[in-house]
Amino acid sequence: MIPYKSIIQINKEKDTAIYLQLTSAFIGLIKDGTLISGAKLPSSRTLSQLLEIHRKTVLASYEELQLQGWITTVPQKGTFVSSKVPIIVQKDFLQNKKTTKSEKAGFSFYKNKHLIAHEEKVANSTIYINDGIPDTRLAPLKELAIIYRNVVVKKNTLQFINYGTAHGNKDLRKNIAKYLNETRGLKITKDNVLITRGSQMGIYLSAKLILKPEDIIVVGDTNYISADRTFLNHGASIKRIPVDNDGLCISSLKKLCSENTIKAIYITSHHHHPTTVTLSAERRIKILQLAEKYKFAILEDDYDYDFHYNHSPILPLASHDCNGNVIYLGSICKSVAPVFRVGYMIATKDVIDEAATRRKYMDRQGDALLEITFSKFIASGDLQRHTNKVLKIYKERRDFFCKRLKEEVSEFIKFEIPNGGMAVWVQLNKKYNWGDVSRISQKYKLVITDWKNYDPINSGHNGMRFGFASYTIEEIQNLVLQLKKTFLEVKKLK
Amino acid sequence: MIPYKSIIQINKEKDTAIYLQLTSAFIGLIKDGTLISGAKLPSSRTLSQLLEIHRKTVLASYEELQLQGWITTVPQKGTFVSSKVPIIVQKDFLQNKKTTKSEKAGFSFYKNKHLIAHEEKVANSTIYINDGIPDTRLAPLKELAIIYRNVVVKKNTLQFINYGTAHGNKDLRKNIAKYLNETRGLKITKDNVLITRGSQMGIYLSAKLILKPEDIIVVGDTNYISADRTFLNHGASIKRIPVDNDGLCISSLKKLCSENTIKAIYITSHHHHPTTVTLSAERRIKILQLAEKYKFAILEDDYDYDFHYNHSPILPLASHDCNGNVIYLGSICKSVAPVFRVGYMIATKDVIDEAATRRKYMDRQGDALLEITFSKFIASGDLQRHTNKVLKIYKERRDFFCKRLKEEVSEFIKFEIPNGGMAVWVQLNKKYNWGDVSRISQKYKLVITDWKNYDPINSGHNGMRFGFASYTIEEIQNLVLQLKKTFLEVKKLK
């Protein structure tokens, strides 16, 4: 008889049930050929004594193995390894006696060369120069948690916790429509609203609807890199036009339209990403006219509409869109915290319905409870109040950041004070390059990683975005000091 | 002077700020040609008296219009409509004086013919025959809300509410790995885990990685229709093999492999969807061997592994996967409630990392707070306890449902008692058809909509799934009675 006592290890401390451990052990012995077809297993009493476990446990294991087809019980004779287990299996598995998961896939799969993986952040005492993100320490977590809890315990919430619609919660759609009508001058109903999980989902879904391989989409020669990558990921052909102080250049757009079939244009009208310039009112009308004439879509990503410091923002193209050319994207995330993935896609009903159908096959639906929570947060005016509150704080931070930049490092950079948004567009003196700066800055616990993302065509504008909103005044002070030390050391290299 | 008092309507009750209403009104007048280029605007004092609003409000509006470029102020002379506003705009907009959003898009977009839009549910007193969904009334909402709230108010949660990784929360990945190792006999680490928002996302991401247009994927001749549609959506070529009482037929699979280049096979090993049969242990080994030989991916969708009534389930193919051929999908949703979109995709690290990169461009990341909540829910053993609790209840319901079906309608249908899962595979007597049944059943407040989904190749098996888990004993009683009345009336048609 096989020395079961030595080769079967039962660990009573483990969470896995003993009869399952035993079952697993037997399967292993059968697969690796230790127990061959037709081999007789010990009686349950014998095995229970050998392994010092309950007889019932052995019986449960034998029952399990039999149900799975590994063994058969012959009345009056005993229990045997099943003859139907393929012998070839045993030999094969003798070769491949691996105990951990293979490192590499056993099949070939497609990698997309345009998409870039996520980079993990490292130490906590480091300052990460960011693209312009909110300060999560200001997020109204307690208020949201209270609303969420009240939503969850209400009796009539039950209807919302089953499978729901891919369009998003109906009340949130209504409240978003109302909120956008009031703040953006839109004229929409809930039928024009798809609740997304943030702007990126809106860009992705729009690309799905508008772009097939080699379809042309127009963007600025500097553009939001994730949008570029999303379009390339869909096989689109990207055509770039210059960006000046009033935004995208219309004459270049007109030329492109007359020479090509344009499917869409992607714009960040309120503050161009990355340069922060505002698309002028006049150019907005012209883009709308061209879209009507050439029947292309305008993908308007209004990612920071709510953050304007000097005056009310110019109304988005979506507010003047009589012909259904605009797909308007935005999110609540930037106003609250990136973890709350609630955004919206606004378009004519036919586009919204198709987008919802596509969305259904991506992730089925949003988070209905979170959507209801935000619906109440908006309807009560809390979102607006919160936005007003952080706006004041961000304005202070913008002012201080720009003041300090001017005072400390104006020898190395030039910039305009942005009238909105969470970042400054900083152009480095052309004597220097961001590669050197980012290499040396690490010494001063300053991490600058994304500069390459801002110049996809290598035009040499030497600009990048410096987010200021996520830092306190003290942190900004420290950031600028470390930046200055970095620049001074870079200067010595020359 | 233009009769401003009559044509500008200021509504002080509206939420929109008055100066914004005024700005909007002026823009409208300029756009529709009422105020042409160079026209002089009234002084702020005059207008404030005419409209009975504060002079400061008019000044704010004029400042706004000037910043936006619609008007210019000439010192000592007055305020004039800007000459730079294109005259053509005014004529165009005279034609298009629409006030609401266009119904149809002003551009063409692609519709996917394989994807089906969501169907809204109607009245509450109606019984919806479902595919096998959990009873949301049993969902541990209060417990989850408490964990969620505690997560949200903890100080160290702040690090999680910023932008995070597309792989999902690290602790949840560890806990899922541990949970699956213990319950499914896997041997994985967190590197093999991507947290999805449910099985559908796992199917979608897998399709993205494995299937390019015309790539071949093998499925059963009856299969989970959403998976079929997802694959077709990606342009894949679907090849079907028969399904018998032991699951997919291996001989047919072998033949396909020898004649074609197979990229993947999609299986629901525990309980085939829709027929609920279990893939035998022997066939599991054979599929793994074929995958190793022909280097195709095995997409194992283990959607209801946790729900088994008679004995422990046969371990999934993923537990015997030494060569990295299996992508293993599952979700927490079915155990808890569909609204909590937390699922997992298990594969070799290279596949998981590419899937995470793709995911990042779809919806950026999951819901970190919900992921942390579920991480704790799993680690504390609460998930297992909850699953054990509902398992008992579902078993009762299965037994009662099958008993009543047998007692009342065995003349019309045949079925096997499923040893797991939340649905019974019910085959209608071939004298009848589900079309008639579903038409007549509406009279008895019984809604049967999905029967066509279960026979995509029109083989005439006349089967469909009847979920039982989501109903109480009383509701099951009522369901079967209404079903009987329906059948009797259908019988009279013949």
Q: Which residue of A has its CA nearest to B338?
A: A162
Work out the average pLDDT over B242-269.
96
Distance from CA of B52 to the nearest CA of A (A): 22
Task: Name the residue in chain A with its Cα closest to that of B97.
Answer: A322
Mean pLDDT of chain A: 89
Instruction: Scan for tokens 């169907």, then name that residue.
Output: B119
In terms of DSSP H, where are the helices of B213-321? 225-233, 250-259, 281-294
List pLDDT tens digits, range B139-181: 998 889 889 888 988 877 777 777 778 999 999 999 999 999 8
Give the residue from A405, A423, A403 showing the smallest Cα distance to A414. Answer: A405
Sort out which chain B residues have CB atoms less than 8 A from A322's CB and list them: 93, 96, 98, 102
Nearby residues of A302 by Cβ (< 8 Å), 6 or more positions away: A184, A268, A269, A270, A316, A318, A328, A329, A330
Q: Are residues A265 and A231 in contact, defined by beta-carbon separation less than 8 angstroms?
A: no
Of B20, B24, B102, the CB nearest to A323: B102
Contact residues, chain B, for A208 at CB < 8 Å: 110
CB contact under 8 A, B368 and A99: no
Q: Are the Cβ atoms of A182 and B212 closer than 8 angstroms? A: no
- DSSP labels, B179-238: HHHHHH-----GGGEEEESSHHHHHHHHHHHH--TT-EEEEESS--HHHHHHHHHTTPEE
What distance in Å separates the CA atoms of residue A48 and residue B289, rounded to the nearest whole number? 34
Report which secondary-structure segment, H or E, holds A80: strand A78-81
Helix (H, G, I), strand (E, B) or coil at B272: coil
Q: How far is CA A89 from the centre of its chain?
A: 43
The residue with greater pLDDT, A374 or A185, is A374
Region A146-160: mean pLDDT is 83
Helix or strand holding residue A304 (H, E): none
A106 → closest Cβ in B20, B295, B358: B295
- Mean predicted confidence (pLDDT) in A444-455: 91
Q: Is the pLDDT of residue B99 over 80?
A: no
pLDDT at B122: 58
CA distance A350 to A372: 24
pLDDT of residue B9: 86
CA contacts within 13 A on the Cβ side of A127: 23
- Asked if the Cβ–Cβ distance from A361 to B92 is below 8 Å, we say no
- For the stretch A79-93, pLDDT in tens is 998 876 544 343 344
pLDDT in tens, A17-39: 888 889 889 988 887 778 878 88
Put simply, the answer to whether A296 touches B133 (Cβ < 8 Å) is: no
pLDDT band at A121 (very low <50, low <70, confident <90, very high): low
CB contact under 8 A, A324 and B103: yes
> For chain A, what percent of residues have pLDDT higher than 70?
94
Mutation to test the B interface, candidates A18, A107, A310, A344, most B Cβ within 10 Å: A107
Q: Is B420 helix (H, G, I), strand (E, B) or coil?
A: strand
Structure tokens at A84: 């139907």
Residue B180 distance to chain A (closest CA, Å): 11
CA distance A130 to B68: 29
pLDDT of residue A95: 43
Least confident of A304-313, B115-124, B322-331, B408-417: B115-124
Q: Report CB contact under 8 Å: B102, A23.
A: no
pLDDT for res B120: 62
If one compares B16 and B455, the residue with the highest pLDDT of the two is B455
Of B336, B256, B263, B334, nearest to B298 by C-alpha is: B263
Q: Which pLDDT does position B36 carry in this prediction?
A: 79
Please name the residue that has the structure tokens 């509409």.
A305
Of A92, A139, A212, the CB nearest to B161: A139
Q: What is the pLDDT of residue A215?
A: 96
Where does A119-235 show beta strands of DSSP type E?
Answer: 127-128, 193-196, 216-220
CA–CA separation, B53 and B66 (whole Å): 20
8 A C-beta contact, residue B265 and residue B223 = no
User: CA distances (Å), A476 to each of A137, A405, A441, A488, B163, in order?
Assistant: 15, 10, 15, 18, 20
Question: Inter-chain contact B323–A358, Cβ cutoff 8 Å?
Answer: no
Which residue among A68, A116, A325 places its CB closest to the CB of B314?
A: A68
This model of the complex carries an ipTM of: 0.83
- Domains of chain A, earliest start first: 4-81 (1.10.10.10), 127-138+385-492 (3.90.1150.10), 165-381 (3.40.640.10)
Please answer yes or no on whether B144 and A152 come within 8 Å at the CB atom. Answer: yes
Q: Looking at the partner chain, which of A111, A320, A360 has a beta carbon nearest the beta carbon of B354?
A: A111
Spell out the SS3 assignment of A231-294.
HHHCCCEEEEECEECCEECHHHHHHHHHHCCEEEEEECCCCCCCCCCCCCHHHHHHHHHHHHHH
- DSSP class of residue B35 equals S
Closest residue in A to B95 (Cα–Cα): A322
Tell if the CB–CB gap between A145 and B142 is shorter than 8 Å: no
- Measured at the alpha carbon of residue B187, what is the angle toward residues B184 and B191, in degrees to the nearest 5? 115
Instruction: Return the residue in B59, B167, B361 with the most chain A beta carbons within 10 A, the one to mutate for interface testing.
Output: B361
What is the pLDDT confidence band of residue B85, given thresholds at 50, 70 and 90?
A: low
The span from the CA of A306 to the CA of A317, in Å, is: 15
Could you tell me which chain B residue has the CA closest to the CA of A169?
Answer: B339
B453 membership: H or E segment, kind and range = none
| Contact call for A363 and B109, based on CB within 8 A | no
Which chain B positions have a beta carbon within 8 Å of A332's beta carbon? Answer: none
How far from B456 is each of A438, A443, B215, B219, B437, CA to CA, in Å? 57, 63, 20, 12, 19
Q: Give yes or no for residue A457 having a pLDDT over 50.
A: yes
Interface probe with A: pick from B13, B98, B118, most Cβ of A within 10 Å: B118
Instruction: Please tell me the distance in Å from A9's CA to the nearest CA on chain B.
Output: 15
Among the residue ranges A26-40, B280-294, B368-382, B437-451, the one predicted with the least confidence is: A26-40
What pLDDT is stored for residue A118 in this prediction? 67
Mutation target among A150, A155, A339, A471 for the B interface, most CBs of B within 10 A: A339
pLDDT digits (tens, 9 = 90+) for A424-440: 999 999 999 999 999 99
**pLDDT at site B75:** 83
pLDDT of B429 = 95
Please check the confidence at residue B89 and state whether its pLDDT lies above 50.
Answer: no
Measured CA distances, A54 to A18, A45, A59, A472 (Å):
10, 9, 9, 64
Q: Are A480 and A405 in contact (CB under 8 A)?
A: yes
For the four alpha carbons of A27, A28, A29 and A32, in that order, the dihedral sign comes to positive
Share of chain B above pLDDT 70, in %: 94
Helix B199-210 and helix A349-363: axis angle, to 10°?
Answer: 90
Number of A to B CB contacts under 8 A, please give it.
Answer: 350
Instruction: Flag if A106 and B210 touch (Cβ within 8 Å).
Output: no
Q: Say which range, A109-113, A123-127, B199-203, B211-215, has the weakest mean pLDDT.
A: A123-127
Identify all chain A residues contacting B165, using CB atoms and an 8 Å cutoff: 118, 120
A399-428 exposure pattern, b = at least 16 Cβ within 10 A, e = fewer:
ebbbebbeebbeebbebeebbbbbbbbbeb
Distance from CA of B108 to the nearest CA of A (A): 8
Question: Which residues in chain A have their CB less than 8 angstroms from residue B340's CB?
Answer: 161, 367
CA distance linking residue B289 with residue B51, whole number of Å: 83
Whether residue B86 has pLDDT greater than 50 = no
Statement: residue B400 has pLDDT above 60: yes
Best mutation site among B364, B388, B471 for testing chain A: the one with the most A CBs within 10 Å? B364
